[in-house]
Amino acid sequence: MEHAVDVAERIRQQTEQLSIESDKGKITLTASFGVCSVKEYHDIEVAISKADQAMFQAKSTGRNLVRTSQIIISEFAS
3-state secondary structure 2-70: CCHHHHHHHHHHHHHCCEEEECCEEEECCCCEEEEECCCCCCHHHHHHHHHHHHHHHHHCCCCCEEEEE
Nearest to 11 by CA among 50, 63, 64, 68: 64
The per-residue pLDDT for range 53-64, each reduced to its tens digit, is 999 999 999 999
Q: What is the phi/psi pair of residue 73, to 5°?
A: -55, -45
Q: Tell me the whole-structure pTM to 2 decimals.
A: 0.77
Question: Which pLDDT does position 72 carry in this prediction?
Answer: 60
Tell me the pLDDT of the chain averaged across its residues: 87
